[in-house]
Amino acid sequence: MLSLGQKIAYAIGNLPVTLLEKVLSVWVLVYYVVPAPGGPNAGDGSGGPQPLVPALMFAFAWYCGPVANAVANPLVGYGSDRYPTRFGRRLPWMAVAGPLLPLAFALLWFPPAGASPALNGLFLAGLLPVIWVLYVAYTAPYLSLLPEIWVSEPERVQVSTWQGLVEVIGTLIALAAVPVLIAEFPRGLDLGVLQAANGYQVMGLVAAALALAALPWQFLCLRERPPAAASGGAPALGFLAGIRASFRNPSFPPYVFSNALYRMAMAMILAVGPVLVTHVLRLEESMLAPIMGAIVIGAAALFPFMPRVTARFGLRRAFLAALLLFGALLPLVALAGVAPFLGYVLAPVVEGVAGLFGVEVSPSPAFLHCCAVFTLLAAPASVFFVAPHALMAQVIDEDHRLTGLRREALYNGVEGVITTLCGWGAGLVATGVLLHLFDPNAGDLRGVLLCYPLAGAAMVVAAALFHRYPIP
């Protein structure tokens, strides 16, 4: 049994995965397509915000990343499973890709100065595939270590809970600290050898530095199991035969397709969050922090109960209930633009409580409505932070029972193809298309508001697919 320190060291490796992914999902669309009034790309005030890339061009450029991810994911997984080195099967991939990923991520926030929208689009289309391939080369081996090192479900849930806590920290940085950082450095920062021209570029450098700082601990504290112990000496499958065998595992298709739809929904609400704040609520970008902080901090507060919940009800029922509840609540966010009923109920309460302390406030009902809905979303979100890693470990164990092989990285690779193309990639493309059809820069907010009921519908469909998951 590994020590608590080793479990935490492994969980810290989730910070580059979470932080860089969440920052990309939330802020790259705002930076390139829907700049906030007063932001670095907002123009001179006479013609309105000036996007670096038109929304439709952004959608196509963005999808180049998921396509590259789809090609790389199974190849990285297969290579990591089949070709051990004297340093292990997983850690060498992480050692090469880990430092390069934050560097490529930082570069994303420095498009060519004064470039045309077409050139900016080409810059995105060229750099995003590099970022996603490096992301795969680090993430697939990293995630494969969990079921390989920890074999009992209670330990896996415990490690997944620590991973979830790190994911909460990364998400809080991306959703709460980043908008404050952007607002603090509107004119950028002179670093001597490098000039950051605006808050987004400062943020990109800070996030990359945090990701780099999280990398050494896995190499210092963890050792891989020998390949023979992991696979039991069973004969290996070929690349295509291995992919086909993964879909014959009855637990894999319900898990992977429901997970893809869940991630598509999350990509939509994360990407459109800053636009909701600046264009629907008419607030500063930094006000995204209390809205999204409500769900993230609320989910973290529920973490101590997660092992007990999964032990009593099982991972399957917990994840299914979370999908249904999240899907039911998400459409309520869209009412912030037309009928923020929860805000109308809460506004007198907030005014009364503030009055007790001699403070006079006039809170926006729409803002309070969003805070209330996202607070309610904290309960299912706490399951999302923990369950997917533990569910994937169950799927891999079932594959081991069926084939006698330990193929963690291939499974993570195939999952990455589907969840990237049909999940994060499709979610950002759908958001880009909606913002192209209903341009918030021109005052049309229908695309922003439509994202929430559509994301809720994706969650409900995900629950219908996951209902066929056979492991309790």
pTM score, whole prediction: 0.78
pLDDT (0 to 100) of residue 407: 75
The sign of the CA dihedral 364, 365, 366, 368 is positive
Residue found under tokens 């999808």: 63
Which of 108-113's residues contact partners 24+ apart within 8 Å by CB, and which partners? Answer: 108/24, 108/28, 108/204, 109/31, 109/200, 109/201, 109/203, 109/204, 109/205, 110/201, 110/204, 111/32, 111/52, 113/197
> CA-CA distance, 304 to 322, in Å (whole number)?
17
> CA-CA distance, 254 to 465, in Å (whole number)?
6
pLDDT in tens, 198-211: 889 999 999 999 99
Identify the band that residue 44 occupies on the pLDDT scale cut at 50, 70 and 90.
Answer: very low
Answer yes or no: is pLDDT of 80 > 90: no
| Residue whose C-alpha is closest to residue 387's, from 317, 296, 464 | 317
**More confident: 241 or 32:** 32
**Bridge partner residues of 189 (DSSP):** 196
Answer yes or no: is pLDDT of 276 > 80: yes
| Residue whose C-alpha is closest to residue 324's, from 188, 462, 142 | 462
CATH topology of domain 4-330+377-466: Growth Hormone; Chain: A; (1.20.1250)
Which of 351-359's residues contact partners 24+ apart within 8 Å by CB, and which partners? Answer: none
- Determine if residue 233 is left, alpha or beta; phi over 0 gives left, psi from -120 to 50 gives alpha, anything else beta: left
